[in-house]
A = this chain, B = another copy of it.
Amino acid sequence: MTATDLRIDRNRLIRRLDELGAIGAIEGTIGCARLALTDEDRAGRDLVATWMADLGLEISIDGIGNAVATMPGFDPSLAPVMTGSHIDTVATGGRYDGNLGVLAGLEVIETVIAAGVALDRPLAVGWFTDEEGARFPPDMLGSLVYVGGMPLEAALEIEDRDGLSVGDELERIGYRGAAPTPGRVPHAFVELHIEQGPVLEDEGITIGVVEGVQGISWTEVTLTGQSCHAGTTPMRLRHDPGVVAADVNLFVRGLTTEFGGSQVATVGALTLHPNLVNVVPSTAVMTVDLRNTDDGVLQQAETRFRSHLAQAADAEGVGIETRVLARFEPVDFDARVIDVVEAAATDAGLTTRRMPSGAGHDAQMFARVCPTAMIFTPSVNGISHNVTEYTEPDDLEAGANVLLDVMLRLAETDFA
């Protein structure tokens, strides 16, 4: 493989990010809100579809509203090298999360077309519906349906909190397309995304070579004790669920030190009732988020957490109910595509780091059906899902150029 001399147009990429970010812009910030299948999402889709059409790409919209734009003029038997991401955002979103992957893909294709590069197979860029899952759970819905992980009919019936369905909202905004699902299996898939974490910035690295996605285990724990007066109740007669919650919080923090590696653990939510200064709580509801790239280690973490929870609750005389909120096994990306990403970045003189993704992405769905990996660019202060989300223009440019080179290399790669 060889590095390309082609370079994307940095200013055009940033201009498009700005234009798309202006739709649903949150006043006084650089953030935006385009929840899936809202009027703002429609406006964003219309804008990106216009850009796709202006390039002469063949656009197909499927039944869940995913759009795939493919370079024309190739033998229909040649599966494309596909990139893509999403253009929906959370309610307090930034302008890079997802959008970068779609617009950088468009930029790559425009650059390749303009240069008249001869390719063994077409390039394609897609957006995938409702990646955030902020309006319609689960997240990554569009790519899940694309790869055949959920029947279209089931997806169309999913409702938001107001009882509006995916199917009806797709109809309403004019994006319930005719292309079949599952969609065409790409030759390979690669997604450029902001890291949404602080590691690259912290280590001064430009390109994250993403090896896979962490496995996720979410548990909600309801601890039931005995509410009583904080002044009149001696310690020996207490059954304080808040103390058990505190104990579990410190225990799972300790597990991360003991296990090391990619193990993370978070108690993000904790609600005491009645939550008064002078009343021992009657209940504590807490969440425990455990993640690891190794499912065996993740299972060990889950076992240790549950065992300690039982022990701590028993010692305090507090009852336990647990509910699994989510459980996803880790996803391993394709070693060959990972190598291509690393080689392209290194050949461009960029610093790299192999890393897992701590968040879910459309690419993990494509990993089920074709060789797949991801490229990360740094997030300033690690902030995402927030209006202050930001990535430096130099990093946007570097990421898009790596994407360009990776797609060209993947087009020449025989994965058979």
Contact = CB atoms under 8 A, between A and B. Distances in A.
B278 A233 contact: no
Contact of A277 (B202, B249, B287): B287
A237 interface: yes
Given A243-B249, A268-B272, A275-B269, A198 B231 contact: no
Interface stretch (A32-40, A145-153, A382-390): A382-390
Contacts of A359: 229, 231-232
Contacts of A195: 232
Interface string A176-218: 0000000000000000000111110010000000000010101
A234 interface: yes
- Mostly, the A contact residues are mixed
Interface in A221-262: 227-235, 237, 240, 242-243, 245-247, 249-250, 253, 256-257
Interface residues of A, number: 60
A199 B234 CA distance: 7
A281 interface: yes
Nearest to A376: B232
A17 interface: no
Contact of A242 (B198, B240, B249, B264): B249
Nearest to A235: B256
Nearest to A287: B277
Given A246-B246, A267-B242, A268-B272, A382 B287 contact: no
Contacts of A257: 235
Contacts of A233: 197-198, 264, 358, 382
A231 B385 contact: no
Contacts of A245: 246
Contacts of A130: none
Contacts of A256: 235
B385 A229 contact: yes
Contacts of A287: 277
Given A232-B357, A385-B229, A276 B270 contact: no
B382 A264 contact: no
Contact of A268 (B235, B263, B280): B280
A275 B266 contact: no
Contacts of A271: 275
A325 interface: yes
A169 B214 CA distance: 61
B230 A264 contact: yes
A281 B384 CA distance: 14
A245 B247 CA distance: 11
A291 interface: yes
Given A237-B202, A267-B246, A228 B279 contact: no
Given A197-B234, A235-B263, A266-B280, 14 more contacts: A196-B229, A199-B234, A202-B237, A228-B382, A229-B384, A231-B289, A231-B291, A232-B359, A232-B382, A240-B266, A246-B246, A250-B250, A268-B277, A277-B289
Interface of A: 195-199, 202, 214, 216, 218, 220, 227-235, 237, 240, 242-243, 245-247, 249-250, 253, 256-257, 263-272, 275-281, 287, 289, 291, 325, 357-359, 382-386
- A-B residue pairs, 5 tightest by C-beta: A197-B232, A231-B358, A232-B358, A246-B246, A230-B266
